[in-house]
Every structure is written in C-alpha cells, then in structure tokens.
Amino acid sequence: GGHVGPTDASGGRGARVVHSLSSGTTRASRLPASASMLVEHRLAPGKLVIIVQGVESLGDLHDLDVGPDRVTFVAHGQRHTVALGHAAIDVDTCGARFKKKRLELLWQRESCDGGPVVNGSVVAAGRGAEAEVLSPAEQTQRQLDTPALTAEGASAAGTAKRADESADSAGSGGGGLDGTVRFRLREAVRWALEQLERLRVPESATGLNRFKAEVGLAELGLYASRCSRLGVPTALLAPLRVAEDALHAELAALAAGEMPGTAALSELTAVVRRTAAAVADVDRELTAAAPAFGARADDAIMLTTTLGQARWRLRDGTELGPGIGTWKLSPEEAEARVVAALRGGWRHVDTAAEYGTEAAVGRALTASGVPRCEVFVNLKVAAESASELRSVLAASLRNFGGGAVDCLMLHRAPAAGGALQEVWAVLEEAARSGRTRLLGASNVSAAQLEQLCASATKPAVVQLKCSVFHQGGYFPEGGPAALWEVIRRHGIVPVGISLFNPLHSCVSPLEEPLIGGWAQDLGASPAELLAQWARGAGVCPLVRCSPGHAAALHGSRLRLPPRTAAALSALSSLTETAYCPALSDPFGLHAPTGRRLMRCGEALRGRLVQVHGLGCAAGRPLNGCRGRLEGFDDDAGRWDVAIPGASEAAKLRPENLALVEEHSGEAEGQELAEAAGRFLRELLATGGLEPMLRALAERREEVTWALEETVAANLEMAAARGWAVKQQVLARLLGAVREALERRSPHPGTVALPPPTLDLSAIRLAGDCWDEAAERALAALLAALEGSGYAICDGFAGREEVAQLATELGEYDTAFETAKILVGKQATGAEISVPAVRSDRIFWVCGEHRTPAAERLWDSAGTQPAVGLAPCRPEVVMSKAVYGFPRLAALMRRLDDFVLGRIAKRCDRLKGLVERSDAMVSIYDKGARFQKHIDNPNRDGRVLTSVFYLNPETDDRPWSREDGGHLRVFLGKDEPPADFAPECGRLALFWADRIPHEVLPSRRRRRALTYWWFDRAEREAKVRETDESGTASMQTEDERLAQAFVAHMLRDGVTPAQVNAHARNLPAGALDAVAKVVGAEDGAQALEGLERLSQADLERLRGSMQHMGLE
C-alpha cells in the first residue's frame, strides 16, 4: 500500500494518516456489499495486523484512515473501524502493506521481512544481494503478481516458494506475532464440543476395547477443557480444573473395574460449554525447537531436500528414508499403490504377515521397475513361541517371493514375558542365514526393548505409534519417556506409525483445528505438516500407502518453522491422561489452578513476644527484649516487632521470637506464680536430673513464662547460698524450660488468597460500540456467575469516574444513619439495629425505576421523586453542588443497561429480571462490619446483588489487608472463604438468595454502592403471599420495643432468666415482632419458647441471629 502522508500540515504526533490502497487493478469481490464480514485484528509493539473475511487483495480495500487509536477502511462497500482503546500507533512513522491476505501496519520498528520502514515504503531484505527499496506502487504490483497457493497438489515451483515463505515465517511460528504461535482456541473448543455432542461409546464395546474407547472420549473432553483453560481469564480456570480432576477419578475407577458412568464427562462438557464464549485466541511463545525424540536426519539434507529424500543412517551404514505402509489394504490395492509409490520416488515399504500383503509387495517391486537394491523392505512377523514364529516366518518369506528382506521385525512381544528372548532368537537365526540384513521391533515397551538390546543382535529399527497426541505409543507400558531414552541410548532409528491415525482417541490429527490452522498458515495440508513434524523430531515417517498421502508428501519441501514444530509437540499435553502420558507440560496445565496460599499474621497482631537466638552484632542486644507483633511481611517472611525504646519496628524471623503469656491483673499473676511453684516442686520431686527433664518434656504444654521466672529466681538463690549441686540441676532445668518456650514461635496462619478477578475494562472502553473483546469479557462474567455464583470484576469504571462519584456522595456524609438488619424467617421480620451483627452507616437514594411503584416489583426505600434521583428521606436537603446526583445517575444507567440489557438476556437464571432496588450507599469505618449472611433467604424477589466500590485510588496508599473491609465470600463446604478488597471501581455480583458473605471489620473508610435486582415471577408470588396473609406494617413503638429486646438478648452475659423477664413485659405487638425474629408462629408461642430457654439454647439462638439469612 502507498503511504500518502499526514493530512495535517503540521505533521505533528497524533496527526491522522490516510493510506490509499486503490491500486488500479481490481478483482471480483467474494462477498456482496451487503454481506456481514468478520474483522479480526492483532496488536503487537510496532505492528497491527488486520484480517477481513473475504478480503484477499488490495483491490478489496479503500479509504484506509489510520489514527493513533483506531483504523478505518472500506471493504465491499462497508466501512469498518478497528478501535484499539488507546493510542498505540505512531502515525508519523507508520507504513501500510498487504501480505498473505492480511493488512499490516508497521511503525517505529523493523518490518516482518527484516527491513525498516523508510518514508512509508517497506525495505525488503534481499537474499544474497543488497536490500531493495520498493516504492508504494512497486509494493502493490508485486503483491498483486504473487500467485495464490493451494493447500495440496502444488507444483514444484509452488512448493519451492512455500518453502521460502515458511522460512520467512519461522519467527512468527505459523500465524502469531513477534515469534509467537497463534492458537485458534475458539475454533478448537467449538469443534470439540460438536464432537462431544456427536460421539458415544458403542454399547457393544466390552473389556479393554471399551476402556480404551472411554479413555478416547475422555481425551476429547480434556482437549476441550484444556484449550478453554489456555484461552479464558484466570478467574474461570478453577471450575475447569475441578471438572478435569473428577474425570480423571472416573477413569481411575473404570481402570479398577468399576462402572461409575459418564457423569464426570457430562459435567466437564457443561463447564466447557459455559465458558466457551469467553475463550480467546492467543499468541504463545514456545521454545525455539521441538524436542528430538530420536536421531535427527542429516541437517544439510533436511534443509535442502524433499521429505521423500530425507535419510536416517542405520547401524550397518545404510540409509533409511520415509516409508509407506500397507495396513488394511487388500492385496490388489496394495500392489497397485506400492507400484505407484515406488515410481513416485518412495524407497521404504512396510508389510506384515498379519496384513497379508507380502505377496502384493513382492509383485509390486518387480512391476515398478525400480532396482531391488534401492528399496528397503520391512517385514513384520509375530508369534507366541519360537516354533510358531519359525512357521510364520517361513510362510511369510515364501509369500514375499523376493528373496531376503532388508529388515525382519518382531510385530509385537509374545504375551508370556519369558518367551521374548526365544522368539527373538528365531529372528537372529534368520539374520545369520542371510534372510535379512537387520532386525527390528514394533509395539514394544521400554523394558522389552532394553531386554532385546541385551541380545547378541540389537534392534536397528523400532516402529512405534507416534502422532502429535500420542508421542511414543497408545497406552504405552512404562510411559513414552522411558522408551525414547532406550531408543536414543542404543542408537536405534525410530519409525513413526499412526502419524495421522487417532487410534481409539476421538481427537483426529487430520481434523483437529489447531493443526489445520497452522497448516493453512503455511500453505500446506495437515498431513504434510505432521509428516514434516515427525521428520524434524528425528522420527522416520511411515505413512499409509494412499494415493493422496503418497503422492503429495514425497515431494514436500515445507520447512517447518521451529516454533510451529514446538507447538505441534506441545499438543500431547492437551489430551494427556494417566494411560497416555505426555512427555512435557509446556503450557503449565499441571500447575495448580487452586488458590495461592499466603501466610497471614492477623490473628497474632498485638501479641507479646520475647526475642532470642540472634547471633549478629546488631541483633545480640535484642536477645531477651520483649515487644509486640505489628504485622507479618509474607514476602520477607519476617515479623514487624515494636520493641520499647526502639526508633522503628524490628524485622525478625518467627524462629527468633517466642510468644509470651499475659495476665489481666494482679490476681491472675499471683495464680500463675503459684502454679509455677507447684510445677517446679513436682519436677524436683522426680528424684534426679534425667527423670526431671523427661517429666518436663512430657508436660511441655504446661510450661509458662512464670515457670521460667520461678526457676531463674531459685537458681539465683542457689548461687547466692553456694548450693553447687542444686545450682547445676536448676541451670539444666532453666535451659530446658527456655528451649520449650522458644519453640512457641509466632508462626503466622496460612490463608488462601482470593481467586483472580475478571477484567471488564473492554466493556467500559467499548461503550455503545460493542466489540469482540467486550463480548468475551461478558461471556467470562456469565461463566463465573453461573458456575460459581459470584463474579468479582475490575475495570467497570475508571479512577476519575469513581473519584467524582465519591465526591458527589460525600456531600451527604451527615445524612448517613445506622443500618438495621431484617431478622426472622419471614420477609416481614423486624428491622433492628444490632451493632454486633451489622455496624455500617447507610444512605438511600431513590428514583429512576423502570416500573411504577404501584406494581410493587421492588421495595421502595422511601419517598420516590417524580423525576431523577433524590434522597429517600424527604428531610435530607439536596446539595446544590450535586443536585440530582448526576454522577450517580450516569453510573446507575450504565448498570441498568449492563445488568438488565446484557447479563439478564444471556443468563438463564436471570431471564425474568425486571427491576432493581433503590441505591444504598454504605460507609464502613472504625471497625464496622456485617456478619455472615445471605441477602435474601425468604424468596422476596431479589436474585442478584451488585456492589460497586467507591473508594478512590491513591498511588501512595493502595487498599491493603490491614485496612480491612474486605468482602468475604463463602464458596463451599470444603473451600476456604475468599476475601476481596474493596478496590476502586470494583464490581461484585453474586446470587442474592444463595451466596453467604460478610464484610470484615473495616479500619479504613470504606464506601460502597449496592443494588438488588428482582425477578418478576418470584416477586409477584411474594406480593400475593403478603396480601393473602394480611400482614400489616409494625407500629413505631412496637418496632422500638422489639429492637430493644433483641439487642438485650444478643448482649453477652445476659441470662435466660433476664431474657424471660424482659419478654414478659413486652406488649402483644412487640411480641409478635419477636416471634418473626425467632421463627415462632405468634407472640404466645414465642413467649412459651423463651420461658424454656437454657443457657445452651440461648447461645445457639444468639449464634443463629448473628448469622442472619443462614439456615
């Protein structure tokens, strides 16, 4: 494309650049002007690649307009905009070109061809000559003159050009950017889900065949899940890994002879389907070269010859090239195809007694006209005993009719392990008699191959199943790694069979989308890609003698980019099971996806400790000093200890600190001293030093600092009075006591860090122009919400927006009032202020609902304004500076559109979502908290809770664990709760009627905006229930008295008798309210129950009331 230059005369940074892509030469459009086209783009430093469906030449693009943060163009009559979200393009140095059906914009760095961008023209690196500068017109003409490449059947010139192009793309590794490999994971997951819908294990399958079929189908499910894990946000990894673990457990049960069914695979499929829309294609950087399984072919030959001309040197000095097989061919087919293959250049033919093709191969050798000495013939035979093998071998060679073969191969080891050496001896005998030059083995384990290598004649060749998904066999005994190690150590040439055959697996290499995509990138077929992969890995390919494979692959000049080869080798980790293990884990799929653990000293904060064991010059003066723990630095592994008189806290390891007991007063101190005296007398009465030390060890948990002080005081007295023996005994005892105390180091507790959060910045940046990135972010949120019941999202609002909203609401700080809780098992329970349960302050803002209040689809928090937003309490005067809450109104509309317009339409559980509550703004500070609860245990219509955090971000003080105020979400019975900091702009969504949660004590001012979202059907049912029961609102006095009673009942130290006395003085209305709190039918039943309360009953009642909303 031609670089016309900036339209802004100033030419300054940020000026827009227009590129004219009209070349004067046009081609027929593949899509009509009205067609909807898919536009994809990939951004990397200095480079933007844009792919438009149906656009394959410059003539299809017009009016290219490039700005710092977006690119627009016209294709097939439609204008398209690629928005980058930020200023990424340097328009002053930007050049454009069209290459490999992709529009590429380059700036401020070298181009893909290795040349810099000069004045808008691309400098192409010349091969063996000086660089050639191409003008815009020359670039256009050269690209138009480049012929299109087909996937298969290319001419010699075409394959040579493909080799050049694949060499150029070695740095990009098959479609990626900057040396990466593009993994088209979305297509891979879609394909796998389609296969999982279609495939089933046949009912007729039994025994080992059925088990292999079960494993093969499980491999497909694992492939789908692991592709998803590579492409979804980290917040969605855990459910996928849990489902994978369940499938592995089910396979283990099947292997043990149990029949657990297919529930695990069904659940895994459901999880994959739930997360599929959140999967993104990724560019991954892998190692520069694929692993070499066996000995590589000569490098010079590999770089300059076709696939069919590559050679591996055998032990006798001869060379072996890629071969063709005759498995599952009739004699007639085998003869015709082998003749064609030999005439086409193939010089390695495989046959077997069990195939019944020996005679056909012998006839083909004669008919082809190729000299016999040029063809390597491999004949496989098998039997369970030596005598049987002699008969099989004689018959097979007689059928072959061509005299000796080049290699006799044991097709498989006999079932009886002791017979292996006997049958191998038969083959050695055949070699000595001249019926073969070499011996080989097929389908053997590492241990069996090692046993054969200990014989007089070692195997020179080994055939093994080697596809990208099963690199070294299917169900290999002992695993593939051990087999490859034996092959390399003994210099055996590996011949790879089943390169294209999925065997029992349901993931076919020739159909799998990742392989297909890389093949398309290189202008090759999947079969060509796989054969060249095997060649590069040191494995001699043996392909089935089909006309398509034999003719197309022999002349292949494809040079596989190293990163693509590495990507192909990595695919086995996508289908790995315990029965077909992979050789490596390049994607880190085995790494734990669970919660990361962190040591936390919160529970020990403020405890008194004594320093000991410091040996450095600066530390020794601190030994014996006491101080208090301030906090634990997990990264450094040290406590901050405040020692009196020190200018700053000392950072000390736990092993240099010992916890010190503290007593509350003189009486407790005297009691501890007396207990220590009794303990010392009991130790001294044991009758000797060793018995005394054993007794101390047995009672180690009773050792206190008071005992240490008592022993030290007695030691001083013994020294003052000259009691030498007693002094020695007490000195040993004092050392043992101090050792016991020093072992009580203040080790911090271990806490699980919260799961990763989701990033909604793409949704914020998209605004009304919903794009692919926003769609994936929404899909990830939905997957998290439907799979886990909650989603914690960052980036829904920017820092500036949050700061402005916090300032607006800050105008009403004096209007906040103490929050109340709704207690009881009915929706009409009492609203009571109980600081022990909830101690935040709240402020309600009413207005801007989508349905009228008369429909009662939401609970009104107060007086609703005629228009706009206003405080729900009429007595609160609106601030003139922020009249009508403009910032809150803008955020509220965004949330309404997002929840009702996006989430509800895509989430089955929220299909009936119709309204939200008024806005509740809450402030937590000075230790305020809200104990564990469920928002809606009574089915009042609220199904979704959204909490938006209004805490402005400051660079000098990010929100920390010490600040408190975290949202704690309880994830399940066996899962530790997750704590999420109330960070700036964070949005928390969770099921209002299912997810237990609490707000931890906040030591820093914490503000949040909460809405509840109502389901129409559930809300209408609750309204009908309330109308039918005729429940009236509580009177003000009754509410006050009920509140006072519950607060009294929750107070520590109150006895059942005091509770009963208080209850008997309540009027009937207040008792009815109390009945709703404690779950009784009416006031009389509540009073009757309270009169029977024991102390234990009272404690349980308090506990249940302090976890309101939980059964």
- pLDDT per residue as tens digits for the range 886-895: 999 999 999 9
The pLDDT confidence band at residue 1030, using thresholds 50, 70 and 90, is low
Helix or strand run (H / E) with residue 42: strand 39-44
- C-alpha count within 13 angstroms, C-beta hemisphere, residue 293: 34
The pLDDT confidence band at residue 261, using thresholds 50, 70 and 90, is low
The tokens describing 1060, both together, are 């009963």
Distance CA 857, CA 851 (A): 7
Distance CA 411, CA 400 (A): 17
Q: Residue 877 is which amino acid?
A: V
The tokens describing 910, both together, are 């929220």
The pLDDT confidence band at residue 151, using thresholds 50, 70 and 90, is very low
Query: At residue 1045, does pLDDT exceed 60?
Result: yes
The pLDDT confidence band at residue 822, using thresholds 50, 70 and 90, is low
Do residues 959 and 980 lie in contact, with contact meaning Cβ atoms separated by under 8 Å? Answer: no
Share of the chain above pLDDT 90, in %: 44
Distance CA 822, CA 838 (A): 11
Mean pLDDT lowest among 213-222, 431-440, 526-535, 544-553? 544-553
pLDDT for the residue numbered 343: 93
Helix or strand run (H / E) with residue 695: helix 689-698
Mean pLDDT lowest among 45-49, 350-354, 551-555, 894-898? 45-49
Closest CA to 220 of 245, 193, 242, 241: 193
pLDDT for the residue numbered 41: 78
pLDDT for the residue numbered 174: 54
Mean pLDDT lowest among 492-501, 857-866, 967-976? 967-976
Could you read off the pLDDT of 921-965 as tens digits, one per residue? 999 999 999 988 889 888 899 999 999 999 987 666 788 878 899
Could you read off the pLDDT of 1049-1092 as tens digits, one per residue? 877 778 888 988 998 998 988 888 777 666 677 888 888 888 88
The pLDDT confidence band at residue 512, using thresholds 50, 70 and 90, is very high
* More confidently predicted of 143 and 295: 295
Do residues 196 and 224 lie in contact, with contact meaning Cβ atoms separated by under 8 Å? Answer: yes
Distance CA 24, CA 43 (A): 29
Angle between helices 1036-1050 and 1095-1105 (to 10 degrees): 120
Catalytic residue (one of 355, 474, 790, 1011): 355
Most confident of 225-234, 247-256, 684-693, 734-743: 225-234
Query: At residue 476, does pLDDT exceed 80?
Result: no
* More confidently predicted of 928 and 1032: 928
Distance CA 165, CA 100 (A): 10
942 three-state secondary structure? strand
Q: Which residue has the tokens 């089935």?
A: 544
Could you read off the pLDDT of 764-820 as tens digits, one per residue? 888 888 888 999 999 999 999 998 999 999 999 988 999 999 999 999 999 999 887
Stretch 232-259: mean pLDDT: 89
Q: Residue 329 is which amino acid?
A: L
Query: At residue 163, does pLDDT exceed 80?
Result: no
* More confidently predicted of 567 and 1034: 567
∠ CA 46-562-302, rounded to 5°: 135
* More confidently predicted of 2 and 1051: 1051
Q: Has 883 been annotated as catalytic? A: no
Do residues 152 and 525 lie in contact, with contact meaning Cβ atoms separated by under 8 Å? Answer: yes
Query: At residue 107, does pLDDT exceed 80?
Result: no
Contacts of 1094 (CB under 8 A, 6+ apart): 1056
Do residues 386 and 419 lie in contact, with contact meaning Cβ atoms separated by under 8 Å? Answer: yes
The pLDDT confidence band at residue 280, using thresholds 50, 70 and 90, is very high
Could you read off the pLDDT of 405-458 as tens digits, one per residue? 999 999 999 988 789 999 999 999 999 999 999 999 999 999 999 999 999 999
The pLDDT confidence band at residue 825, using thresholds 50, 70 and 90, is very low
pLDDT for the residue numbered 79: 79
Mean pLDDT lowest among 126-135, 171-180, 611-620? 126-135
Most confident of 314-328, 379-393, 666-680, 714-728: 379-393
Question: What is the dihedral angle through the alpha carbons of 702, 703, 706, 710, rounded to the nearest 10 degrees?
Answer: 120
The tokens describing 789, both together, are 């019941």
Distance CA 632, CA 1100 (A): 35
**Region for residue 192 given its phi and psi (left: phi exceeds 0; alpha: psi -120 to 50; beta: otherwise):** alpha
The pLDDT confidence band at residue 870, using thresholds 50, 70 and 90, is very high
Query: At residue 899, does pLDDT exceed 90?
Result: yes
Stretch 278-293: mean pLDDT: 75
**Would you give the DSSP letter of residue 990?**
E
Contacts of 420 (CB under 8 A, 6+ apart): 413, 414, 448, 451, 452
Q: Residue 10 is which amino acid?
A: S
pLDDT for the residue numbered 515: 96
pTM over 0.85: no
Stretch 152-173: mean pLDDT: 37
* More confidently predicted of 85 and 234: 234
Do residues 625 and 658 lie in contact, with contact meaning Cβ atoms separated by under 8 Å? Answer: no
Query: At residue 527, does pLDDT exceed 60?
Result: yes
pLDDT for the residue numbered 1081: 77
Do residues 471 and 496 lie in contact, with contact meaning Cβ atoms separated by under 8 Å? Answer: no
Q: Which residue has the tokens 């149990």?
A: 258
Q: What is the CA radius of gyration of the chain?
A: 39
pLDDT for the residue numbered 828: 39
Average pLDDT over all residues of the chain? 81
**Region for residue 478 given its phi and psi (left: phi exceeds 0; alpha: psi -120 to 50; beta: otherwise):** left
DSSP tally for the chain: helices H, then strands E: 33, 47
pLDDT for the residue numbered 1090: 83
